[in-house]
Amino acid sequence: MTQKYRLDKEGYINRKKSISFKFNGKKYFGYHGDTLASALLANGIHLVGRSFKYHRPRGFIGSKEDEPNAKVQLYNGAKTEPNAVATEVELVEGLVAKSQNCWPSVSFDFGAINNFLSKFFPAGFYYKTFMWPKSFWHKIYEPIIRKAAGLGVAPLKPDPDRYEHKFEHCDVLVVGSGPSGLGSALAAAKNGARVILAEDKSKFGGSLLTDQVTIGNKTGKEWADETVEQLKSMPNVVIKNRSQVFGYYDHNMMVMFERTKDHIESPNKYTPRQKLWYIRAKEVLVSTGSIERPLIFGNNDRPGILLASAAKEYIKKYGVLVGKKPVIFTNNDSAYDAAIEFKKNGINPLVVDIRKNSEGTAVKEAKDLGVNIKFSHAVANTKGYLRVSSATVGKLNNDKSGYENLENIPCDCICVSGNWTPTVHLASQSGNKLKFDEIISAFIPNQSHQNETTIGSANGSFTLKKSLEDGFNKGFEVSNKLTKKNIKSDPPTSNEKSYDNYEKFWCMPLPENKKYKRCVDFQNDVYVSDIELAIREGFRSIEHVKRYTTLGMATDQGKTSNLNGLQLVSNIENKIVPEVGHTTFRPPYTPVTIGTIVGREVGKHYRPTRKSPMHSWHEKNNAVFVDAGLWLRPRYYKQGNETLQQAAKREGANVRKNVGICDVTSLGKIDIKGPDSAEFLNRVYTNAWMKLPVGKARYGVMLREDGIVFDDGTTTRISENHFHMTTTTAQAVNVLAHLEYYLQVVWPELDVNVLSTTEQWAGAAVAGPKSRELLKKLFPETDVSNEGFPFMGFKEENLFGIPARVFRISFSGELAYEINVESNHGIFMWEKIMNLGKSMGIQPYGTEALSTLRIEMGHVAGSEIDGRTIPSDLSLEGMLSKKKDFVGKRSLNREAFLNPNREKIVGVIPVDKKTMIPEGSHLVKDKNAALPNPKLGHISASCWSVEYNNPFSLAILKEGKKRIGEKLYALSPLKNKSIEVEVVSSHYVDPKGERVRS
């Protein structure tokens, strides 16, 4: 229960609130305000995982999102989360975490055998091996490699959590709440701008939380707290903690996630786990700070070796010592802050400094406190398997190529600092062209491409004074572009330590005849020798080095390793760093939960569902639905134990015999108005439209400009300048877009307006020999005789007080009518038709029966109009007007489309009249021909003909018309079927079309 490494003072934790948690099966305690990392360190635990390839023991490197090693699996079951970063996980009661990528345990891991064989698998070894014998790759090598892959495990159950999305606009988005972030937010807000300030940590303040500085007459922390309060009180400011801006997209589109649940002890059932914010900001101020770089030396990857800034942060934020015998190893002044903190808390650190001396005030303070410093020294190597136990320290010789003497110094942690790397990720994502700053040896933003301004240490200004100035000035500047209020706030005075120059030396030489591993990328096991090997093998581009060695490709995306890697490349190649370049900073800045990106539109809400006004009736009457795009349509109405085929046969037969009713609401409907409407239809349809009388409908075919059939449907002339167009369900949206395009862009001279009315009308098709009788009952006042209401006629009617449009059109091939009423009367219409039709044996029919009816009539639909066929393929030549131009006409007049041997639609029946021909079968001459067997065509649609009670199919067949009467084979290799078939006319039932006209 004792937390051996917890200090009595320091930190922003609540020592009164003890929290229990489990790590690798063992129970520990921490405090409210801890992260999993700080709580583990308080309990003296450094060993948290294993590296990816060699399974070397791994401990914490950092204290924040840069952490490459401490990736853990949280919780169990559906709640489990792989690859959580322990430094970012806030401790809550009952938290369960375990180490990843190790078996049977993190302290004894069989995978560690890889470490002993590591000579045999240097960078790129995969490519050179596993090839003999050839068959072993697939059967043996690859399965083994794959088994070894991965870190955590995916949950096995669907994620029970919910995630939400939020859309925001603002004048100024400030990313990061360190001194420059707070300063700029305040300056911009005071100048009247609408500001969003986003901080990814739970506490605002950034470096002010850990640095010993004063601003005005307050400590940095006090100033930060006060500024945050002030910002919170301003109505034009939104201030968010636990909120990570992870992506900078085009035109200042920013994406951020907010952690809203995991840190709460007993969250509400409906609390979203995370929220995703889309922020369109007019100006973005990037104050994302900087990340400390490790130093590279022999066995620098043992647990207990971590960044000096992390050691300081664990003391200052959590009151935790990362060790009691620390060695601090640095090439700059900032690490002395950690030494001072140790010293103040009664621990005697040893500082090993590469430099000859330093005049910085931090160094002076350390000296005054009596800290032991070894200048001109370096750590050459370390010892200790599961935890560092000693550092081999030596005096560097003059040219820093080796050591003058080496001694072993016992220690329990080594805190390293190789200077700081500005966090330029967002700036780079925004398109900012980075430049290499020779003074700090790192890339900084240089030339903005969008309204992006990077400030503070993210811009390479490592002093508080400069950061505050930057913040206040830029906050004013960018806000003033928008508000023009000229309210300028001056930066407060501040006091901080002065820092001396750092020494640009970060990769320690190996002692003579030693081949210690010097780690560059901790998670992915990339060592100096790997980078040397890549260059030796001719990889020159930094991108090649990255891909060959996997440098920077781990889950931390190289936050601590990339710059060290590329400095190494520049050293080896004897180039300057900017010449080597850097790899691309890609979004997201830190890994983002997929559930958060996806939001609420999951499961059934993945896409909207469109339902007809009669949907509830269909449901009540045992309809089985089918997806038709976004629509749900009744496929059949199940009676008893009927199968789909049986139901379709029954429903279809009833249409042929009595009368059926089908919901056709989903067909696209477009209202076309204007004096040039007829001329417009004349141009978009292949047939003629100028002379269509008012009150008449006509079938039309539309082509794409490349001559391919696009859609078909009927269009009715409601009045002189008013047409009602119908489209297929599938193409409704596309047809409207097609019409709009031609009207607005190609023929703007035409005075026509088009408008979708699909949802305004409920539609019912009433089909069958008894449909006229039914119509008479529905519209007793109307002359429904063949003369009074002929085929392709249209009437505006009154259905028991409700206005209705009645069309005499047919898709089933029977005498049929289509009735449209306003959507809200749909159910009234439907029930009325059902009631009045009862005596005639009316039955509803679904899309399956509809399909059967149209197939045996030889009417084409989506399976023939499949985006690959031209009118002649579908025997629609008769629809092509020779007297006028229309969209797609010219394309038909090209060599390939004029070819008389093209495919043609035909009917096909099995010779045995029994076997259904599977859709998608191909027609061949010789069923036993050697492969590839030449294909003559394919079966586009099949049905069981209700008229003739035998199977019938439509086929698109090469030289189809010439082959009528010919015997071919329909091969369905996926069912291992070959069926002898006879080619017949596609118009199997009522070839002359007498019924529709009867």
Partner 1 sequence: MLLINCPYCGERDQSEFTNGGEAHVARPKDPDQVNDREWSEYVFVRANPKGIYYERWVHTHGCKKWFNAIRDTSTDEILKIYKIGETPPLIKRFKNTLRSPSGEPDVGSGNFTVKKP
Partner 2 sequence: MKKKYSIFNIVKNAFSNNENWKKMWRNPEPRKFYDIVIVGGGGHGLGTAYYLAKEHGLKNIAVVEKGWLGGGNTGRNTTIIRSNYLWDESAHLYEHSLKLWENLSTELNYNVMFSQRGVLNLAHNEHDIKEIKRRVSANKLNGIDSYWADTKQIKKLVPIMNTENCRYPVLGASYQPRAGTARHDAVAWGYAMRADELGVDIIQNCEVKKIRTKNGKVYGIETTKGIIRAKRVGVVASGHTTVLAETAGIKLPLQSKPLQALVSEPIKPVINTVVMSNAVHAYVSQSDKGELVIGAGTDGYNSFTQRGGYNTIEDTLRAIIELYPIFGKMKMLRQWGGIVDICPDASPIISKCEIEGLYFNCGWGTGGFKATPGSANLFAHTIAKDKPHSINAPFNLERFVSGRLVDEHGAAAVAH
Binding site for partner 1 (CB under 8 A): 249-253, 280, 428-431, 433-434, 447, 449-450, 541-543, 576, 578-586, 705-706, 737, 740-741, 744-746, 748, 885, 889-891, 893-895
Residues 27/53, Cβ–Cβ less than 8 Å: no
Q: Which one of partner 2, partner 1, none is in contact with 582 (Cβ closer than 5 to 8 A by kind)?
A: partner 1
Q: Which one of partner 1, partner 2, none is in contact with 329 (Cβ closer than 5 to 8 A by kind)?
A: none
Residue 274, CB half-sphere, CA atoms under 13 Å: how many? 20
Does position 626 interact with partner 2 (CB under 8 A)? The reply is yes
Residues 637/621, Cβ–Cβ less than 8 Å: yes
Smallest distance, Å, CB 974 to partner 2? 4
- Which of the stretches 468-476, 620-628, 715-723, 767-775 binds partner 2 when contact is defined by CB under 8 A? 620-628
Looking at 4, 26, 154, 620, which residue binds partner 2 (CB under 8 A)? 154
Q: What tokens does 801 get? A: 């007080």
Q: Which one of partner 2, partner 1, none is in contact with 580 (Cβ closer than 5 to 8 A by kind)?
A: partner 1
- Which of the stretches 141-149, 290-298, 684-692, 829-837 binds partner 2 when contact is defined by CB under 8 A? 141-149
Q: How far apart are CA 41 and CA 323, in angstroms?
A: 9
Nearer to partner 1, 478 or 979 (CB): 478
Residues 195/306, Cβ–Cβ less than 8 Å: no
Smallest distance, Å, CB 120 to partner 2? 5
- Give the gyration radius of the chain's Cα atoms: 38
- Which of the stretches 105-113, 530-538, 745-753, 810-818 binds partner 2 when contact is defined by CB under 8 A? 530-538
Looking at 9, 138, 691, 883, which residue binds partner 2 (CB under 8 A)? 138
First to last CA, the chain: 93
Smallest distance, Å, CB 676 to partner 1? 16
Smallest distance, Å, CB 153 to partner 2? 5
Q: How far apart are CA 766 and CA 444, in angstroms?
A: 72
Q: How far apart are CA 799 and CA 828, in angstroms?
A: 10
Q: Which residues of 127-138 are buried (b: 16+ CB within 10 A; e: fewer)?
A: eeeeeeeeeeee
Nearer to partner 2, 581 or 993 (CB): 581
Residues 849/660, Cβ–Cβ less than 8 Å: yes
**Residue whose entry in the numeric block shows the structure tokens 């160094």:** 363
**Closest by alpha carbon to 396, among 380, 385, 408?**
380
Neighbours of 543 (CB within 10 A): 13
Q: What tokens does 641 get? A: 């134990």
Looking at 921, 945, 953, 986, which residue binds partner 2 (CB under 8 A)? 921
Q: What tokens does 654 get? A: 């009833």
Q: Report the site for partner 2 in 344-383 (rule: CB under 8 A).
A: none
Neighbours of 57 (CB within 10 A): 26
Q: Report the site for partner 2 in 802-821 (rule: CB under 8 A).
A: none
Q: How far apart are CA 886 and CA 237, in angstroms?
A: 58
* Beta-bridge partner residues of 275: 164, 258
Nearer to partner 2, 82 or 192 (CB): 82
Q: Report the site for partner 2 in 189-248 (rule: CB under 8 A).
A: 247
Smallest distance, Å, CB 454 to partner 1? 14
Q: How far apart are CA 292 and CA 773, in angstroms?
A: 87
Smallest distance, Å, CB 437 to partner 2? 24
Q: What tokens does 622 get? A: 């045992």
Q: Report the site for partner 2 in 85-124 (rule: CB under 8 A).
A: 119-120, 122
- Which of the stretches 286-294, 712-720, 765-773, 865-873 binds partner 2 when contact is defined by CB under 8 A? 865-873
Nearer to partner 2, 823 or 921 (CB): 921
Nearer to partner 2, 543 or 720 (CB): 543
The three-state secondary structure class of 40 is helix
Q: Which residues of 901-927 are buried (b: 16+ CB within 10 A; e: fewer)?
A: ebbbbbbbbbeeeebbbbeebbbbeee
Looking at 96, 115, 159, 222, which residue binds partner 2 (CB under 8 A)? 159
Smallest distance, Å, CB 892 to partner 2? 9
Q: Report the site for partner 2 in 532-591 (rule: CB under 8 A).
A: 533, 536-541, 543-544, 547-548, 550, 555, 557, 584, 586-588, 591
Residues that contact partner 2, how many (by CB under 8 A): 111
Strands 761-767 and 816-822: antiparallel
Q: How far apart are CA 796 and CA 785, in angstroms?
A: 16
Q: What tokens does 417 get? A: 């600092």
- Which of the stretches 249-257, 483-491, 737-745, 907-915 binds partner 2 when contact is defined by CB under 8 A? 249-257
Nearer to partner 2, 127 or 270 (CB): 127
Does position 512 interact with partner 2 (CB under 8 A)? The reply is no
Long-range contacts made by residues 459-467, C-beta under 8 angstroms, separation at least 24? 459/422, 460/422, 461/180, 462/290, 462/420, 462/499, 463/496, 463/499, 464/179, 464/207, 464/211, 464/213, 464/215, 464/220, 464/494, 464/496, 465/494, 465/496, 467/178, 467/179, 467/180, 467/183, 467/287
Q: How far apart are CA 479 and CA 474, in angstroms?
A: 8
Nearer to partner 1, 20 or 891 (CB): 891
Q: Which one of partner 1, partner 2, none is in contact with 604 (Cβ closer than 5 to 8 A by kind)?
A: partner 2
Does position 430 interact with partner 2 (CB under 8 A)? The reply is no
- Which of the stretches 125-133, 319-327, 569-577, 662-670 binds partner 2 when contact is defined by CB under 8 A? 125-133
Smallest distance, Å, CB 706 to partner 2? 7
Looking at 515, 691, 882, 992, which residue binds partner 2 (CB under 8 A)? 515
